[in-house]
Amino acid sequence: MASFKVTISDTKGKSISKELKDSDAIPLLGLQLGDEADADAVGLSGSLTLTGGSDKSGVPMRSDVHGAARKYVLLSKGVGLQDAEKGQRVRKLVRGNTVSEETYQVNCRYDGELPAAEDGGAEAGQSEEGKD
């Protein structure tokens, strides 16, 4: 079955990471980059917009490559290409824009504001112990 690590970022720049397994991950299968999904799958209300992702070996998803397969694509700029001089093109391995079973990480943008961290009290307790 499918298993994803979902990284959710909000409009303020805060991000959280959740792991979805089996039946929780099914709503994301088959979605393409740019599609909207219901945020109930990760325990939030509202919607998520898929922005990117990668597979287990770190090959990034690219929005202009159709399907879910890995392909070698000639790139001059953008996702999957680190350093390219002007006029330089490089053939790189990228994954298509569709979420599949091989996808390991999915990046999403949340339309609202993420809730405050629940473990904030534990961090404050640790700092007080360090003062003694």
DSSP string, 102-122: TEEEEEEEESS-PPPPTTHHH
Mean pLDDT over 58-70 rounds to 93
17: β partners: 7
Q: How far apart are CA 39 and CA 28, in angstroms?
A: 10
Residue 127: what pLDDT? Answer: 43
Average pLDDT, whole number, for the chain? 85
120, pLDDT greater than 70 = no
Place of tokens 């339309």: 111
Q: How confident is the model at residue 117 (pLDDT cuts 50, 70, 90)?
A: low
Mean pLDDT over 113-118 rounds to 74
Q: What is the dihedral of CA 55, 56, 57, 60, to 10 degrees?
A: 20
Report whether 89 contacts 76 (CB < 8 A): yes
Q: What is the pTM of this model?
A: 0.78
DSSP E strand stretches across the chain: 3-9, 15-21, 36-38, 47-55, 70-75, 90-95, 103-110
